[in-house]
Structure 1
Amino acid sequence: MKNRPNILLFFTDQQRADTCGCYGSDLGLTPNLDELAAEGVTFKNAVTCQPVCGPARSVIQTGRYATKNGCFRNALELKDDNQTLAHLLNGAGYTTNYIGKWHLSLTGLEPVPMEERCGYTGEWKAADLLEFTSDAYEGYIYDRDNQKLPFSGQYRSDFLTEHGVRFIEEYEKEEPFFLMVSYLEPHHQNTKNRYVAPEGYADRYRDARVPEDLLQLDKPDADWRANLADYYGCIRKLDENLGEFADALKKKGIYEDTVILFTSDHGSHFRTRNGEYKRSCHEASIKIPMICRGGSYLGGRVIEQSLSLVDLAPTILEIAGAEPAKQMDGRPAGCLLRDGAKDWDNDVLIQISESQVGRALRTLKWKYCVTAPHKNPWLDSGSDIYVEECLYNLEEDPYELNNLVDREKYREVKEELKEKLLGKLELAGEGSPRIISL
């Protein structure tokens, strides 16, 4: 391994952790990812801190909570006053390259100009709103010079993978590269309002096992019966795409010189918790896969401590031998590999927008969520008053079927979690709001 390894961030959209074999799935959807996990490190309790597309991406690029970096909801531009992952990697001698869905500009169907790419100066083949510039088998992205790159008859994730693999095959620079490949799959296709697997893939999973939370929370609005097979088919195809990247790195002779990171922005509860697929505090929405293979991330280890999406940027910078920006809220994960970091804080703050102005604290045992029903979830980034909404014991109730928030016997637990949540909110720059107990 070179002192400064190449870094590949393979990023999916709306993927539940429990779809992966390395997280306990028996469906066989992710053999290539499972092989990476067997060689590398799996973060068992990886959690998004913002379960919606744009804000989650802003957190990855800045290492800051979405309310701090200015993108607390979709349709907000990530301003250039943020010091980003790409800026810092450029300073550390990396080339910074991006392929796929961006979702951090306001250009919509138009190309993202260089000045709005948040420091990515190398390869660029992307669209701001890939879900609207493309369908599953047709559409376009833009190249570095803002020229359209159309595709037709090819599945979208294969199209992006083809460009990513070609980048690796043709890379001849002395500097190490950082490449982020940001897929839309397994996200539902917005123009059809349903999930769309590659042709023939959904048929493989018509009778596949259904996650217990979906079975237990089945209701008229829930659409997993119509979509789960396609969702699984999307994930199987993405895993094949991941395998293509691993093969390309091996053929290039740089597999051992490259750290591969795999993660997602959030999960999907298939309209069982609210009127759409995410934007809730529940595990199906916030628990994400996070696997790292290469460098010091070897050995087939499973890390039990919590890791937030806000920790990803500092972790990537640590892998690159670069210092995180002082303004970053996240923490590099390397210490978890060296000594287990016994003093590691396992309490994760979750900020929820668009469906509600909500905040949640996830510990290894508890989930505590509050909401501000008097606030506008599209216009208001936070609140000075919240009301308790949910309390779950994750050890005894992993599918979050039994809300304990109004049970008198858990009053002391709630008070302890309330104080912890308030402390997190203060660190996240949200002041000292008041939480009304039930």
Structure 2
Amino acid sequence: MEKLMGRLGLFIVFSVACNHQNKDIVNSADQKVRPNVLIILTDQWRAQATGYAGDPNISTPNLDSLAAKSVNFKNAVSGMPVCSPFRASLITGQRPLTHGVFMNDVQLDTAAVTFGKLFSKAGYDTGYIGKWHLDGHGRLSFIPPGERRQGFDFWKGNECTHDYNHSVYYANNDPEKKIWDGYDTFAQTDAAIDYMKGQTTEKKPFSLILSYGTPHAPYQTAPEAYQMRFHPDSIQLRENVPEEMKEQVKKDLAGYYAHIGALDDMIGNLMSNLKNTGQLDNTIIVFTSDHGDLLGSHGAYKKQQPYDESIRVPMLWYIPKTLGIAPAVKDALLNSEDILPTLLALCTIDIPETVEGINYKSYLEGKEDIDRAALITCVQPFGQWNRVEHNGREYRGLRTQDYTYTRDLNGPWLLFDNENDPYQMNNLVGNDQYSDIQSELDRLLTERLKENGDEFLPGMEYIQKWGYPVDRTGTVPYSP
């Protein structure tokens, strides 16, 4: 309890400092050439599934090499662990109930203040390659140039597809449907390398988001050479996978790691290209994922639920030496909406008033500490991964360094001591020994919800408020 109270005390001090920090103007009249920005975004890559994180099933030498040169936010969280909500928070710096993309297959407001618009205004060439999932006009539809691309100029993207070997995309202004050549993880990497090489003669810096669809299911679709590396019988499962699911989970994990093996090689290709072109010394690289994958843990698959396999994501920041930030492993619980303001500050771009996330630049520089608990949220108790019959429910919660606490519409739901119960198998809600901790986390959660203006209503009330469509049953959103 003393340890928790100490950290909560830090939270009170530094949350005030960070909120003030976002209002600061970070532009400098005598600034040097701004760094390039490359965001490597993967889909459904859980935090533990890397060599540097100690996963016994996978070797990721290229990612491990990047981690050694980077700031590793080992406790990073996807605050609403679903594809579209994370992506909207990434490019707006806002929480899902502010930007309104709290579910998949709806459109982000085209008037939003976004990554693409801000970097373009600051003189950057902006590019986007791969999965978008913010347009809401159908998963294979053409997203025309202009406001629906949210400020990105160069474009080789698709709304959403997981057919990795017959993957649809559209190039720049051409409305003709195209297919990536072969396995799209490889083709998208080649496109990113070509784009970055093309920027070597440009006077202005680039900002590129490379958004892969892997290692998201279907799991058994990586090239055969990668699938051959992983055999189900050799897979070591997490302790929280039920006995009756183990055989299937081992098969799926073998395919999952095959996708990761391919991605690791592509990260190596990206790094080699940046080094060979001389761009690495002036490029910020952020490697992360939109959420994790339960993959059998707690008897579930995919995401949305508040367990670590779902909410925790890898988060590496490679920062050029010229910015004076040393590689390190950091404890802070960086959340989805915090990425944009931190990037803007590192690139000496003003952080707009619309941004709600924390600017971690001073934290990275060692000038202050931040021990703010990460807020985790789920709005709708339905959809493919969070159905009520599979224990899905609306929730609000906090992830601290030591505990995960969530509340559903009926009150306290889950409390885990993550230090002593890393697989989150012992729910401590109502446990007398943890009553003080539960009460303090519940109080803090109430404060955070009040601070955010979140009334924690039933999911359908948010659907109706935003005017999102439902199917003929009136309960389940559909993809327009």
% identical equivalent positions? 31
For residues 2-401 of structure 1, the aligned pairs below 5 Å read: 3-108=33-138, 109-131=140-162, 135-148=163-176, 150-151=178-179, 154-171=182-199, 172-189=201-218, 194-206=219-231, 207-215=233-241, 217-220=242-245, 223-273=248-298, 275-295=300-320, 296=323, 299-339=326-366, 341-342=368-369, 344-354=370-380, 355=386, 356-372=393-409, 386-401=410-425
Q: Secondary structure at the match of 1:7?
A: strand
Shift of the 218–166 alpha-carbon distance from structure 1 to 2, 3 Å rule, reads farther
CA distance 1:297–1:22, change in 2 (3 Å): farther
The aligned residue for residue 417 of structure 1 is: 441
TM-score (normalizing by structure 1): 0.88
Question: Separation in 2 of the partners of 1:222 and 1:65?
Answer: 38
8 A contact 1:105–1:116 mirrored in 2: no
**Counterpart secondary structure, 2:167:** strand
Change (3 A) 1:25 1:151: same
Cα distance, 1:68–1:239 mapped onto 2, change above 3 Å? same
1:98–1:126 CA contact under 8 A, matched in 2 = yes
- Tell me if structure 1 keeps the 8 A contact 2:169–2:180: no
Counterpart of 1:322, as a letter, is: I
* TM-score (normalizing by structure 2): 0.81
Residues 36 and 207, structure 2, Cα contact 8 Å, conserved in 1: yes
The 8 Å contact of residues 222 and 270 in structure 1, kept in 2 or not, is answered as no
CA contact (8 A) 1:84 1:118 kept: no
Structure 2 SS opposite 1:364: coil
Equivalent residues of 1:426, 1:432 under 8 A apart: no
Give the letter aligned to residue 136 of structure 1.
Y
Alpha carbons 1:68, 1:429 under 8 Å: kept:
no
Offset from partner CA, 1:261-310 (integer Å, 9 cap, x none): 10001111114336531111100001110001122375331111211111
Give 1:39 deviation, angstroms.
1.4
Tell me which amino acid in the other structure corresponds to 2:309.
A
* Amino acid in the other structure paired with 1:250: K
Q: Distance in 1 between matches of 2:443 and 2:149?
A: 36
CA distance 1:136–1:121, change in 2 (3 Å): closer
Give the superposition deviation at 1:93. 1.3
- 1:127 is displaced (CA, Å) by 0.7
Kindly indicate whether the alpha-carbon contact (under 8 Å) linking 2:43 and 2:290 is maintained by their aligned counterparts in 1.
Answer: yes
Farther off after superposition, 330-339 or 99-108: 330-339
Structure 2 segments unaligned to the other structure (5+ residues) = 1-30, 381-385, 387-392, 459-480
* TM-aligned CA distance change 1:31 to 1:117, over 3 Å: farther
Three-state SS of the structure 1 residue aligned to 2:168 is strand
Deviation at 1:163, TM superposition (A): 0.8
TM-superposed CA distance for 1:23, in Å, is 1.8
- For residues 30-55 of structure 1, give each alpha carbon's deviation from its aligned partner in whole angstroms, at most 9, with x where no partner exists: 21111111112111111110111111
CA distance in 2, matches of 1:82, 1:219: 46
Deviation for aligned residue 1:239? 1.0
SS of the aligned residue for 1:349 comes to strand
Answer whether contact 1:2 1:257 (CA < 8 A) is retained: no
Shift of 1:138: 1.3
How many residue pairs match? The answer is 412
Alpha-carbon separation, structure 2, partners of 1:69 and 1:222: 41
Q: Indicate conservation of the 8 Å contact 2:44/2:216, yes or no.
A: yes
Task: Give yes or no for contact 1:85–1:313 (8 Å, CA) kept in 2.
Answer: yes
**Cα distance in 1 for residues equivalent to 2:198 and 2:297:** 45
Distance 1:137 1:106 in 2: 23
Aligned mates of 2:32, 2:66 — CA distance in 1:
19
Q: Distance in 1 between matches of 2:152 and 2:102?
A: 25
Is contact 1:223–1:270 with CA below 8 Å preserved after alignment?
no
Structure 1 residue 214, shift from structure 2 partner = 4.5
